[in-house]
Amino acid sequence: MNNLKIYNSISNKKETFIPIDKNNIRIYACGPTVYNYAHIGNARMAVVFDTIVKLLRYVFPKVTYVSNITDIDDKIIKRSLEEKKTCEEISETYLRIYNSEMKKLNVDVPDFQPKATEYVHSMIEKIKHLENQGFAYNKDGHILFSVSSFPKYGMLSKRSKEKQIAGSRVSVESYKINPEDFVLWKPSKKNEPGWNSPWGFGRPGWHTECFAMASDILKTPFDIHGGGLDLKFPHHDNEIAQSCCFQNKKDDFSSYARYWMHNGFVTIDEKKMSKSLGNIVLLKDYLEVYNGEVIRFALLSAHYRSPLVWTESLINQSKNILDKFYEVLRKLEDIKIQRYDLILPKELEVCFFDDLNISNAFVYLNKIIRNKENFKTDKNKKNLKKILMTVSNILGIFKHSPKEWFNEKINTSDENMKIIEALIQKRNVARENKNFSLADDLRKQLTNLGVEIQDGPKGVKWKWLN
RNA sequence: GGCUCGGUGGCAGAGUGGUUAUGCAGCGGAUUGCAAAUCCGUCUACGGCGGUUCGAUUCCGUUCCGAGCCUCCA
């Protein structure tokens, strides 16, 4: 029996995680709309849920992770008109980019990565059922979910309909009976993509796709549903409403998902990164300069539910910390580890199992890498490496060899690498001949190339300067 | 207006009713041909005001400040 505790957004409390089927944990997280390069916020969501899944895989024999791709949406249509390309071309392009960027962040491809367009038929069936049961109505070709048919509406975000100012920041569409009603199906214009349906040529509303795909692939109820905090309302409340009504379990909101997890925002200058503020930063700009693992670690440096302030200094700090651990791994390079060796000491499990308290895990890790005893015998070294490699599997870090890590050419050419090697060689000769002024001069040249030299008892090592 | 969530040392970030994590950066020392790396040591903190308590950063109240949601958004 495990002691995994996760924070459930539905109760606003940490709860012991009790799986529905301990032989197969089922988790769904809302993925991106692919109409542009991924921003840091998209990356945080992907990294956070990838880490949660990795932790679940450490605890349970099987985990099924679904994260969708929204590939039909007004934003994609807009983009396709701007770029004079089809929606499919747009979404395919940015999906490919997204997945290759996620790979650099050591984010595994989910077990299922369904696209909305592949599930339109299922969505139509589900909408039809909702309409037949009286949970949805047709107004001017729009099929709307009738919020008043689901008394528990808003129970996830805990907002009562009466006290909300409906449309406080946006005008309410005239075709809505109740301002909170949301679109399940909307008509498409001639030049817009669409599908034939009982209500004419049109396309699904966004809130239906996740409900349909999660239900079809994972079956309800499933264990965990996640996404960014901004999806809590209305997106996730809308999913719950659809699923509960669809299953005719209006009183049992856990008939859809048992645990809800939400990651916090990335903030820039104390403000949420958002399109309207124009303070979006794109992941690709950082991947050009930093190893993806540095970005991943920076994204994990705050607890997943807290806001994360995105700054250069956070990234540099992350790099320094990873450097330190790679120095340790360099000392353990000769130690071989088997898959079955991968297990954590209790003290570390407690940290990870406490709603992913990575900070506390690092208290322990820092302690054991400082303890000289752990480097004295091969047995101790093996034990240490075992722990680090298990952490590697859970957090998706320490995935490189130390040599790759320190000497990887991110922004340099092969010729440059040859020049560096040659200069180091020349300096070694100079040092052997006690020609220290020449050696120092050569080191200065290397410094100018961004290379830091480390003379050790076993020869010279080098790494890139920050 | 309603509903959430926060305010911890230069920075990041846990946690706890009393021995004030941890890391990064800084500083001092050891070491080194000189360095770097490493090792050892080290300074700053819990928004304000009340209350409960022998004792509160931790509990309660209040206040100020900040962020988010109530619109598409990870």
Give the Å distances, CA to CA, from A187 to A128, A170, A193, A316, A359.
15, 21, 10, 49, 49
Question: Residue A241's CB: how many other CB atoms inside 10 A?
Answer: 30
Strand B–CB A32 distance below 7 A:
yes
Question: Could you tell me the strand order of the sheet in which A308-309 lies?
Answer: A271-272, A266-268, A308-309
Strand B–CB A282 distance below 7 A:
no
Nearest nucleotide to A277 (CA to C1') is B73
Taking each helix axis as running N to C, give the angle between helix A312-331 and helix A292-299, from 0 to 180 degrees, rounded to the nearest 10: 110
- Can you say whether the dihedral through the CA atoms of A375, A378, A383, A384 is positive or negative? positive
Nearest nucleotide to A30 (CA to C1') is B74
Q: How far apart are CA A351 and CA A367, in angstroms?
A: 14
A183, β-bridge pairs: A144
Residues in contact with A253: Cβ distance below 8 Å, sequence separation at least 6, in sequence order: A10, A152, A155, A156, A240, A244
Q: Which string of DSSP letters, residue by residue, matches A234-247?
A: IIIHHHHHHHHHHT
Show which positions of strand B are touched by protein (CB under 7 A). 1-5, 11-15, 21-25, 32-40, 66-74
Which is nearest to A28 in space by CA: A73, A64, A55? A64
Tokens of A383: 């034990």
Residue whose CA is minimally distant from B23 C1'? A321
Tokens of A424: 């180091």
Residues in contact with A461: Cβ distance below 8 Å, sequence separation at least 6, in sequence order: A330, A406, A453, A454
What are the residue boundaries of the structural domains of chain A, listed by start? 5-113+122-128+210-266, 312-408, 411-464
Element (H, E) at A222: strand A222-228
Strand B–CB A317 distance below 7 A:
yes
Taking each helix axis as running N to C, give the angle between helix A237-246 and helix A120-132, from 0 to 180 degrees, rounded to the nearest 10: 70
Residues in contact with A323: Cβ distance below 8 Å, sequence separation at least 6, in sequence order: A405, A406, A463
Q: Identify residue A373 by its one-letter amino acid code.
A: E
- The DSSP 8-state label assigned to residue A232 in this structure reads I
Measure, in angstroms, how far nucleotide B55 C1' is from residue A363 CA: 28
Q: Which string of DSSP letters, residue by residue, matches A116-134?
A: GGGGHHHHHHHHHHHHHTT
Nearest nucleotide to A32 (CA to C1') is B74
Strand B–CB A321 distance below 7 A:
yes
Nearest nucleotide to A430 (CA to C1') is B33
Residues in contact with A259: Cβ distance below 8 Å, sequence separation at least 6, in sequence order: A6, A8, A10, A15, A17, A223, A224, A225
Tokens of A302: 């705050």
pLDDT at A436: 93
Q: What are phi and psi of A177, to 5 degrees?
A: -70, -50
Please identify residues in chain A, positions 372-401, with a C-beta within 7 angstroms of any atom of strand B.
none
Q: Which string of DSSP letters, residue by residue, matches A156-168?
A: TTT--GGGS-TTT
Measure, in angstroms, how far nucleotide B56 C1' is from residue A322 CA: 37
Measure, in angstroms, how far nucleotide B9 C1' is from residue A120 CA: 55
Strand B–CB A439 distance below 7 A:
yes
Residue whose CA is minimally distant from B5 C1'? A306
Strand B–CB A30 distance below 7 A:
yes
pLDDT at A463: 85
Give the Å distances, CA to CA, from A335 to A326, A364, A379, A382, A389.
14, 21, 9, 6, 11
Asked if A150 contacts A68 with a C-beta cutoff of 8 angstroms, the reply is no
H helix count then E strand count, chain A: 15, 15
Give the Å distances, CA to CA, from A435 to A323, A331, A430, A439, A455.
31, 30, 5, 6, 15
Measure, in angstroms, how far nucleotide B5 C1' is from residue A335 CA: 45
For chain A, 466 residues long, give each residue's pLDDT as a single digit of tens: 468 999 999 888 889 999 999 999 999 999 999 999 999 999 999 999 999 999 999 999 999 999 999 999 999 999 999 999 999 999 999 999 999 999 999 999 999 999 999 999 999 999 999 999 999 999 888 999 999 899 888 888 887 766 666 656 656 777 888 888 999 999 999 889 999 999 999 999 999 999 999 999 999 999 999 999 999 989 999 999 999 999 999 988 899 999 999 999 999 887 888 877 788 999 999 999 899 999 999 999 999 999 999 998 899 899 999 999 999 998 898 899 988 788 999 999 999 999 999 999 999 999 999 998 899 899 999 999 999 999 999 999 999 999 889 877 666 677 888 899 899 999 999 999 999 999 999 998 998 888 888 888 778 888 887 6
Asked if A207 contacts A194 with a C-beta cutoff of 8 angstroms, the reply is no
ipTM rounded to 2 decimals: 0.92
Measure, in angstroms, how far nucleotide B16 C1' is from residue A360 CA: 14
* CATH tag, A5-113+122-128+210-266: 3.40.50.620
User: Apex CA A410: angle with CA A405 and CA A413, to 5°?
Assistant: 120
Strand B–CB A42 distance below 7 A:
yes
pTM of the model: 0.94
Measure, in angstroms, how far nucleotide B31 C1' is from residue A202 CA: 74
